[in-house]
C-alpha cells in the first residue's frame, strides 16, 4: 500500500504536518517535558522516558509502519535540489531495508499557513516493521531537536502504524501527538497515562473519551 492511498483511506484530508492533534478528530497531546524542571539532565531523562514509554505502549515490534521525514528547503532561483538526510542511515538496522526508502518532492506543507511558495518539502518515507528501527536512539534524537544536545534531528518525523491505524509525532521536547482513525484504539493510552495529558488541552481530550 502506498502512503498516499493509506492516508486518504484512514485519515482523509489530513495534511501530514504539525500539529496533528489540532487537525484531527481523534487524538491525544501528551506532555513530555516539565517546564518547572530546572536540571537539564533530569528534564531530558523525563522527556526520553515518557516518549519511549508512549511509543512502546502504542506499537508492537511486528507492527508494520511508515517512517516519514519531512525536509523543507529552498533552492537557488527556481532550482531546488534534493537533500539527502541521515535519519534513515543511522536508525535503520539493515541496509536491505534501506533499499525501500522512497523520496518525494511535494509543495511546501505549510504553504497555506505562511503564504510561502519558494520552498519545497522533500518527503522521505520507509515502509518497514517497528523491529527494523533503532527507535530508542531515533526518539532521543528527535527529542533533542531544540536542545543543545547531540545527536539531534531537526526535521518532522512521523511514525504511521499501518497495523493500528495511528500516527505518532514528537514535535519537540515539550510533547507529542498521537492520533488514530478510531479513538478506541488509543483509549488505553488515555487511561494509562492520563496524568501525562497536556493540561492545556486536557478538557477537550477528556470530553473526547468520556
DSSP string, 21-84: GGGSSSEEEEE-S-TT---HHHHHHHHHHHHHHHHHHH--TT-EEEEEEEEEE--BTTB-----
In degrees rounded to 5, what are phi and psi of residue 147?
-105, 160
pLDDT of residue 118: 85
pLDDT of residue 114: 86
Distance CA 111, CA 93 (A): 34
Distance CA 135, CA 116 (A): 33
pLDDT of residue 79: 40
- In angstroms, what is the C-alpha Rg of the chain? 17
C-alpha cell at 33: 517535558
pLDDT of residue 177: 98
Instruction: Tally Cβ neighbours within 10 Å of residue 122.
Output: 20
pLDDT of residue 84: 55
Distance CA 181, CA 7 (A): 10
pLDDT of residue 174: 95
pTM confidence score: 0.94
C-alpha cell at 203: 478538557
Q: If the chain, 210 residues long, is cut into consecutive pieces of 10 residues, what is the mean pLDDT of each piece? A: 94 97 98 87 96 98 98 58 72 93 93 88 96 98 94 96 98 97 98 97 97
pLDDT of residue 76: 44
Nearest Cα neighbor of 178 from 12, 57, 21 is: 21
What SS3 state is found at 2?
coil
pLDDT of residue 73: 79
Amino acid at each position: 500500500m502506498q502512503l498516499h492511498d493509506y492516508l486518504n483511506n484512514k485519515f482523509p484530508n489530513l495534511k501530514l504536518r504539525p500539529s496533528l492533534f489540532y487537525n484531527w478528530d481523534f487524538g491525544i497531546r501528551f506532555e513530555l517535558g516539565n517546564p518547572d524542571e530546572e536540571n537539564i539532565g533530569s528534564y531530558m531523562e523525563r522527556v526520553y522516558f515518557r516518549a519511549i514509554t508512549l511509543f512502546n505502549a502504542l506499537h508492537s515490534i511486528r507492527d508494520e509502519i511508515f517512517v516519514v521525514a519531512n525536509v523543507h528547503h529552498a533552492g537557488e532561483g527556481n532550482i531546488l535540489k534534493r537533500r539527502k538526510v541521515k535519519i534513515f542511515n543511522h536508525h535503520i538496522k539493515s541496509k536491505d531495508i534501506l533499499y525501500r526508502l522512497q523520496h518525494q518532492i511535494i509543495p511546501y506543507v505549510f504553504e497555506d499557513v505562511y503564504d510561502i511558495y519558494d520552498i519545497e518539502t522533500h518527503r522521505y518515507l520507509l515502509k518497514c516493521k517497528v523491529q527494523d528501527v533503532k527507535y530508542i536512539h531515533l526518539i532521543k534524537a528527535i527529542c533533542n531537536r531544540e536542545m543543545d544536545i547531540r545527536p539531534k534531528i531537526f526535521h518532522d518525523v512521523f511514525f504511521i502504524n499501518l497495523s493500528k491505524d495511528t500516527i505518532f509525532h514528537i514535535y519537540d521536547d515539550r510533547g507529542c501527538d498521537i492520533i488514530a482513525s478510531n479513538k478506541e484504539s488509543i483509549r488505553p493510552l488515555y487511561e494509562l497515562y492520563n496524568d501525562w495529558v497536556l493540561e492545556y488541552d486536557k478538557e477537550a481530550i477528556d470530553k473526547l473519551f468520556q
